[in-house]
């Protein structure tokens, strides 16, 4: 299973939430959070679209 790290500084723009094809991410109290890690395909689209480069996805073994 992949790991997803979201660094501090998220402004809740929602871009990663909107762009994730698997609905892995959601906004909670104005911050992006991981809600369905099981569905993550490690496509790294969320990394690419975050304007602040706060997301790091690593593929699992
Ligand atoms: S790597 Fe892809 S599937 Fe996983 S959370 Fe990011 S956009 Fe969604
Ligand atoms: S794209 Fe980046 S700044 Fe925007 S909600 Fe996602 S993690 Fe936060």
What percentage of the chain reaches a pLDDT higher than 70? 98
The pLDDT tens digits for 20-47 are 999 999 999 999 999 999 999 999 999 9
Q: What is the distance between the alpha carbons of residues 54 and 24, in angstroms, rounded to a whole number?
A: 16
pLDDT at 61 over 80: no
Give the angle 47-50-51 at the CA atoms, nearest 5°.
135
Q: Where are the domains of the chain?
A: 3-55
Of the bound ligands, which one is closest to the alpha carbon of residue 4? Answer: 1
* Domain 3-55 sits in CATH 3.30.70.20: yes
Q: Mutation test of ligand 2: which of 11, 13, 46 has the most ligand atoms closer than 8 Å to its C-beta?
A: 13
**The pLDDT value given to residue 60:** 84
Q: What is the dihedral of CA 41, 38, 54, 27, to 10 degrees?
A: 120
Coil, helix or strand for 7? coil
């Amino acid at each position: 299973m992949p790991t997803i790290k979201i660094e501090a500084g998220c402004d809740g723009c929602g871009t990663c939430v909107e762009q994730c094809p698997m609905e892995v991410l959601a906004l909670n109290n104005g911050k992006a959070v991981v809600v369905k890690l099981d569905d993550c395909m490690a496509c790294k689209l969320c990394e690419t679209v975050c304007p602040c480069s706060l997301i790091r996805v690593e593929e699992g073994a």
